[in-house]
Structure 1
Amino acid sequence: MRNVVLGALALAVLSGCAGSKMNEARTGAPYKTLASDKATLVVAECIQFGWQDESVFGVDAGGFKEPSEAGGFTVYTTGGDYFVDIQSVGAGSSVKYYAAEDTMPAKRRLAALATCL
């Protein structure tokens, strides 16, 4: 029981750090803006599932999904270095991908999310 409580507390602390990092990144331009004909929930769940693939991302595999304040969803990694804001546009979705740096891991995350569009 104690380990569960400590684990939940650690996740809450990390989420707070990730949230401030993501809010700061949103003040700038996204790494890439994409569009999909699919509904926001379908796109968000696909990206979340793809980002959790340990065979692609190894120990950095992680994808968390939560509703965004503006409607739609945000999918993010531990620490918030990579995240996607998915908003409804007509019958489809607008996908804004944010990456801390232009690196190979950022490109792999982009490739994984592109398969969900």
Structure 2
Amino acid sequence: MRAILPMTVALLLVGCASSTMEAARNGAPTAQLASHKAPDLVAQCIQFSWQEERAFGVDASGYLQARKTGGFTVYTREAESFVDVYAQAGGTRVDYYAQKDDQVALQRKAAAATCL
């Protein structure tokens, strides 16, 4: 019984994040970035950079998920910021989305850019 409650909460959070991400994807990304590196390396780097507590404190979170359509998504709690990482000719394309235009969103974008 005790294990069911945390699993239910986790599934609800993933569902909320997923619907938030799909709504954002219907619009234009906040920024588009490109790299000559492989998509999996870029996605892993972004995930690790977003988990850096010295930069993001208690908001340090980064979750990596393979996309059904190919590529990867790296996202934060409640999908406040997320990136879609895709293979493109000669490297990788990164679409960055942010719910807010604040300092944390700018820091996450800068952290993602260091992985290119």
* TM-score (ref. length: structure 1): 0.94
Return 5+ residue gaps in structure 1 as ranges: none
Indicate whether 1:47 and 2:53 are aligned: no
Q: 3-state SS of the aligned residue for 1:22?
A: helix
Distance 2:20 2:55 in 1: 24
Which residue type is aligned with residue 22 of structure 2? N
Indicate whether 1:101 and 2:115 are aligned: no
Return 5+ residue gaps in structure 2 as ranges: none
How far does residue 66 in structure 1 lie from its aligned partner after superposition? Answer: 0.5
Contact 1:39/1:91 (<8 A) preserved: no
Q: 1:2-41 maps to which residues of 2 (within 5 A)?
A: 2=2, 4-41=3-40
How far does residue 62 in structure 1 lie from its aligned partner after superposition? Answer: 0.4
Distance 1:43 1:57 in 2: 19
Amino-acid identity (%): 50
Contact 1:51/1:63 (<8 A) preserved: yes
- Across the aligned residues of Structure 1 and Structure 2, the Cα RMSD in angstroms comes to 1.2
* TM-score (ref. length: structure 2): 0.95
Distance 2:7 2:39 in 1: 28
Which residue of structure 2 lines up, in the alignment, with residue 59 of structure 1? 58
Contact 1:88/1:94 (<8 A) preserved: yes
Which residue type is aligned with residue 50 of structure 2? W
Q: 3-state SS of the aligned residue for 1:10?
A: helix
Aligned residues: 116
Which residue of structure 2 lines up, in the alignment, with residue 92 of structure 1? 91
